[in-house]
């Protein structure tokens, strides 16, 4: 491949990275919010969230991308391609993250909460200083797995015309009639992105373990 092809691949990788990155960042926080509200078991709201999580997890990502992009204008909401892609990825990953957070919440020992409250610690302080850090540490592998999954599933956004890494690869293949070099280059870039993510997970886990000692 020539330099122009590599430049196009890097541009596609950047598109994949920033769209997925925004969705991941929002999805982690939104998933935590969904999990906490579900644990509160508020009538009707809890049922709506269960429905959202079930539908988002069961719906293929490419279908969700198309649904949001094509349905929004009929409801009077103007969404460009990038916004529709970010929204679809966010709704998808937040549903999976919500279950990761909820599992961490359910595995948390109630003895710690009772001991903290007995020492005069308020509920919000206990959650912020004791519960949330432990939940984050136990949830980190699951959250990172979901981050990796959403990055690897992001080629679904190409269905609405976004030129991501996979779409660029297909275009180069169609022009050069040499599929192997661009495919290998794209695989290398995906592996690099996921590798950095896994490396960050390892660093975060080590720091969390040191703080817990």
For position 49, which CATH number holds?
1.10.3720.10
Q: Residue 197 to residues 130, 191, 192, 200: CA-CA distances in angstroms?
A: 25, 10, 9, 5
Q: What is the rounded average pLDDT of the residues 97-125?
A: 79
Q: What is the pLDDT of residue 165?
A: 94
d(CA 8, CA 197): 23
**Percent of the chain at pLDDT exceeding 90:** 62
d(CA 64, CA 9): 26
pLDDT at residue 208 tops 80: no
Scored b (16 or more CB within 10 A) or e, 41-64 reads eeeeeeeebeeebeebeebebbeb
Q: What is the rounded average pLDDT of the residues 20-47?
A: 93
pLDDT at residue 69 tops 70: yes
Q: What is the pLDDT of residue 102?
A: 92
Closest CA relative to residue 94, chosen from 13, 34, 5: 34
Q: What is the rounded average pLDDT of the residues 136-142?
A: 86
The domain total for the chain is: 1
More confident call, 213 vs 176: 176
Scored b (16 or more CB within 10 A) or e, 179-208 reads eeebeebbeebbeebbeeeeeebeeeeeee
Long-range contacts of 191-198 (CB under 8 A, 24+ apart): 193/13, 193/16, 193/17, 193/151, 194/148, 194/151, 194/152, 197/144, 197/147, 197/148, 197/151, 198/144, 198/148
Name the residue range of residue 50's domain. Answer: 3-212
Scored b (16 or more CB within 10 A) or e, 159-174 reads ebebbbbbbbbbebbe
pLDDT band at residue 212 under the 50/70/90 scheme: low
**Percent of the chain at pLDDT exceeding 70:** 95
Which parts of the chain fold into alpha helices (H)? 3-40, 45-58, 61-71, 81-106, 110-118, 123-126, 132-153, 165-176, 180-212
d(CA 79, CA 66): 12
> What is the distance of C-alpha 163 from the center of its chain?
20
Q: What is the pLDDT of residue 28?
A: 95
């Amino acid at each position: 491949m020539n330099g122009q092809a590599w430049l196009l691949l890097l541009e596609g990788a950047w598109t994949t990275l920033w769209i997925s990155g925004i969705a991941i960042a929002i999805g982690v926080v939104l998933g935590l919010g969904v999990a906490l509200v579900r644990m509160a078991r508020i009538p009707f709201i809890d049922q709506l969230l269960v429905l959202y999580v079930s539908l988002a997890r069961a719906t293929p990502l490419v279908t969700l991308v198309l649904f949001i992009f094509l349905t929004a204008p009929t409801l009077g909401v103007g969404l460009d391609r990038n916004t529709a892609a970010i929204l679809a990825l966010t709704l998808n990953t937040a549903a999976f993250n919500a279950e990761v957070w909820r599992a961490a919440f359910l595995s948390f020992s109630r003895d710690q909460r009772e001991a903290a409250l007995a020492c005069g610690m308020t509920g919000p302080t206990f959650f912020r200083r004791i519960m949330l850090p432990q939940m984050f540490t136990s949830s980190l592998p699951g959250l990172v797995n979901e981050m990796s999954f959403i990055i690897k599933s992001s080629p679904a956004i190409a269905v609405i015309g976004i030129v991501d890494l996979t779409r660029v690869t297909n275009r180069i293949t169609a022009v050069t009639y040499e599929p192997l070099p661009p495919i290998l280059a794209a695989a290398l870039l995906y592996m690099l992105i996921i590798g950095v993510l896994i490396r960050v997970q390892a660093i975060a886990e080590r720091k969390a373990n040191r703080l817990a000692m």
